[in-house]
Structure 1
């Protein structure tokens, strides 16, 4: 059952990673596997094999989420964008109690010293501020999400650009609350990567798509290894402050994803009211929020064991 549960979480992470503005690592935090996820990112073959019951299903699930089920989440965003965003908002809200506990308590369960309280609160505020900045960036670059009609011609310059975007996107990807896809969108390669993934399933464009995806894949691998080592060191040396920043990132991410607060931050003050023009929309949005919150809150009790 643990393997199937880990596979399911991997699928959701993969789905989230292809959506600009949604962080796959946020999902890892929500389901209580973030520490294990970061620790699993390594080139140490012996360590990977030792953790195979976690690594194999999580990687397989992520691949399935990106290659196949991303179409489902895209469809949900097209047909039910408000409800889908409320569901993700609920996931984030439901994980807040767990992160508060990790921020103010030590590993042995005792409270942190009062002298650290102010710095922990400051870390939460920093995390929220970073996400507000990303919200502004998302609104500035949102129009560039349109899909391209055909794959561009391969060139060394384009390959280098895709590689660099993969590195930065992967580093962002493992920081909860920050979307790696959004960063690749800002760097101008997101439409190329998404088009290439879908082109892999067409025999006439398979080779061209593969050539374009290879530098991105190498860049993502390099970024994951670099970013994971940094996060792992921070969690070992300053766990409470690191979790406080993550808490701030998630709270800011909820403000960015929630349809009501997102419209307010983007200056559309009355749009959040006009969006809810029917009782069915209000009820379905509330249901999505509650389901997401409950799923996140109770998921830590069923997360895979060490």
Structure 2
């Protein structure tokens, strides 16, 4: 019973992290010590599972999945996401500069955490620069504001975002910001738009079943290059969460009281992941 409660609490923390761009649910899973179990639970939905399931061997198919672990985690993730969606929407409307500054700080701290302890060589910095340049170009204001909310695009957004959600250091919500879908999906969660959520979830399940294995192989075979590319992606994405824009261009902040509030929010965003990581390391 204690283990089930622990998995539920881990899921609650992961869900809370996944609502916020810049904080990775995979990082929370790693810190809380359930990351390997999570990957193994996802990999349980393999060809053997689907073969048994679609040939009527339901008991054998379901027996392949560690439900005692997976159900409490999923319950916790879902509870957090649906509980925090309306709060995040409110903050986006009421305190947009402060909230985006907070996200900016979170992403900077995530870059620091992903870079810590890594020994990169020249080619890895080149890969990092490519990731940063590509993301900076993709997240131009024109691309960000012009993204459609059609079902095929929502399916693709779910495919990428849920795959990113399980990776330490890169946030699924951050990927939604990158694709211009963050506010749309958050609103769908807050107002329970079943059609949008169903298409998004279908893409997410497909991503977890397929692309996540490709990424796992990249981490296994090319760990340094993969991490370098992800760090570059996060660095280039800072363009998205910069709180001040003037049309398609970045703008300087106003030098008034709002700048102090935004700076404080940014500092909090930087400190939060670093403090959590320091506590976890100490324990």
Change (3 A) 1:122 1:226: same
Matches within 5 A, 1:1-306: 6-16=10-20, 22=21, 25=24, 28-29=26-27, 33=31, 36=35, 39=39, 42-44=42-44, 49=66, 52=69, 55=70, 58-104=73-119, 117-136=121-140, 138-142=141-145, 163-164=155-156, 166-171=158-163, 176=170, 179-182=174-177, 185=180, 191=184, 197-200=189-192, 209-210=193-194, 213-259=197-243, 263=245, 266-268=248-250, 271-273=251-253, 276-279=254-257, 281-303=258-280
CA distance in 1, matches of 2:152, 2:243: 36
Give yes or no for contact 2:128–2:233 (8 Å, CA) kept in 1. Answer: yes
TM-score by length of 1: 0.66
Considering only aligned residues, what root-mean-square deviation do their CA atoms show, in Å?
4.1
Q: CA deviation at 1:2?
A: 6.2
Give yes or no for contact 1:167–1:224 (8 Å, CA) kept in 2. Answer: yes
Aligned length: 257
Change (3 A) 1:217 1:33: same
CA distance in 1, matches of 2:146, 2:151: 24
Change (3 A) 1:287 1:127: same
Q: CA deviation at 1:253?
A: 2.1
CA distance in 1, matches of 2:260, 2:177: 30
